[in-house]
Chain A
Amino acid sequence: MNRHDDLPPAIIEAAIHWSVTMASGTADAAQRRDYQHWLDADERHRRAAERLGAIDDEVRGARRAGLPVTDTLDHLQRRRRRRRGLGGGLLVLVLVAVGLVGGDVSRLSRDYVTGTGEQQRLRLPGGTRVVLNADTALDVLAGEGRPTLRLHAGEILVDSEAAAVADKPRVVTDDGRLDALGTRFQVSVGGSGTGLTVLQGRVAVHAAGGEPLGEVRPGRGWRLADGTLAPGTTGLRAGSWEDGVVEARDAPLAEVLKALGHYRAGWLGYDQAVAGLKVTGVFQLNDTDAALDAIAQSLPVRVVHRTRWWVRVEKK
């Protein structure tokens, strides 16, 4: 490519549109014909398409079957994100401030870290899939035997159905360890202990000291704290965040606000007087303002916006 962009932006945009349409795998014969017409209509159209094609030349050298090139780029990005967290001026101040409020500064040095509003997907050797909810910190130890997931903060959804028995993961938290037995389950830490909800299959639970506490099956949520396993639920459908929503059924307002808070920049607080109000509904995580409005309409509460970044839910 030369260094002078002599093509009008509209032509570049059209070429991008066509490139995406043609590569999407959904283009039909009529669209392919239209594309050909577009290319033939103007010499500059063809030139724009060729320049976009040159992007492929940049990628081609890195395309190697059987070698983990994409993994390398992912690994590089993760390490950078971590380092940026540790050395990036203003960003550090903000993260540390958030960390102090959340009581967890240590999450800056973890293998996988998601920030507010972020989710991340992992695929472990052996085929287990892991999804990190927002504000989550996770270390992955995948050597010999079971992959071990050390959950430091936040929430993960584990799907090990496809993994062979020897590759089923183990999740470790401060409160104990959870061994997957062919299964899909959600684990969260924070507040009081470790929350566990099994969606499919079974999970064997051990306390931090190693004593077995039994197996958990689908049906209800459990809480592991202080060496005991007890029924405990947030009233939120496990894994609903993976679908981009908070699905609440008779959930305490505090739990709903906590879930929304992971998808909102700034501070979202509430009066203790409203914390236990029961909420039922489905709220979009990508529009938490709308979710707060909906809550204010259905409960005796009002949402006080002091600034864009400081919001508090109070008794009406």
Chain B
Amino acid sequence: MTVASHSNVQSLYTDHCGWLRALLYRRLGCRDTAADLSQDVFVRLLLKPAGTSPREPRAFLASIAHGLVVDHHRRRAVEQAWRETLAVLPAENQPSPEEYWEIVDALARLDALLEHLRPRARTVFLMAKLDGLTYPAIAERLSVSLSTVEKDMALALRHCYRVLMGG
């Protein structure tokens, strides 16, 4: 494996940038976003530690692009849900613009982390870690036993561990 070199990425960029942009345009239906994300694909490549001479460069680029498209859609969905939820708050309780976008980022990360986790385990995890509820309080609120809360919490931790370790 070679270490990522600037020239490697440069040649990938020269050969495939137009193709990648067209691919992303088909997925997103927006030229500007497609251009932005195709740039991001090559930025990711520059940041990768090793092995950027793939035998199938287009399949490789497409798989990175796919991940970015998923993230993009997720962020948009999170932002919309956040905007709609805030709409009912009075003006004095609204977050600052900076805080607004920080939380969009944080919620998008959290949403990705908890994707595919069972609904009740997700709820338990969020109640404990985000709302700071104790396990007995969660058990009471969900009308389940303390041992169910503990099992769900263990399930959630196992899930998060695997996701964060890339397994």
Contacts and interface: CB of A to CB of B under 8 A. Distances in A.
Interface string B49-70: 0000000000000000000000
Interface residues of B, number: 48
B78 A3 contact: no
Interface string A117-131: 000010000000000
Contact of A61 (B105, B135, B146, B157): B105
A55 B146 contact: no
B134 A25 contact: yes
Nearest to A60: B106
Contacts of A70: 126-127, 130-131
A75 B84 contact: yes
A1 B78 contact: no
Given A16-B158, A79-B81, A26 B135 contact: yes
A211 B111 CA distance: 48
A5 interface: yes
A98 interface: no
B17 to A, nearest CB: 28
A73 B126 contact: yes
Interface stretch (B5-13, B26-34, B39-47, B85-93): B85-93
Interface in A41-70: 51-52, 54-56, 58-59, 61-64, 66-70
B3 interface: no
A55 B93 CA distance: 29
B16 interface: no
Contacts of A62: 103, 106-107, 109-110, 130
Contacts of B166: 3
Given A25-B134, A64-B103, A79-B81, A16 B129 contact: no
| Dominant secondary structure at the B interface | helix
B98 interface: no
B165 interface: yes
Interface residues of A, number: 41
B110 A75 contact: no
A192 interface: no
Given A68-B89, A72-B107, A20 B161 contact: no
A269 B10 CA distance: 66
B164 A1 contact: yes
B130 A59 contact: yes
A26 B150 CA distance: 11
Contacts of A77: 119, 122
B84 to A, nearest CB: 6
Given A61-B102, A69-B130, A121-B142, A3 B110 contact: no
A77 B136 CA distance: 25
A242 interface: yes
B95 interface: yes
A69 B77 CA distance: 14
A68 B85 contact: yes
A63 B110 CA distance: 11
Contacts of B126: 70, 73
B150 A63 contact: no
Nearest to B89: A68
B143 to A, nearest CB: 7
A66 B93 contact: yes
B25 interface: no
A272 interface: no
A20 B146 CA distance: 11
Nearest to A3: B166
Q: Which 6 A-B pairs have the closest CB atoms?
A: A61-B106, A62-B106, A76-B81, A25-B134, A72-B85, A24-B135
Given A24-B146, A54-B164, A77-B122, 14 more contacts: A1-B165, A3-B166, A16-B161, A24-B150, A26-B136, A51-B165, A58-B113, A61-B102, A61-B106, A62-B109, A67-B95, A72-B85, A76-B111, A242-B143
Interface of A: 1, 3, 5, 12-13, 16-17, 19-21, 23-26, 51-52, 54-56, 58-59, 61-64, 66-73, 75-77, 79-80, 121, 242-243
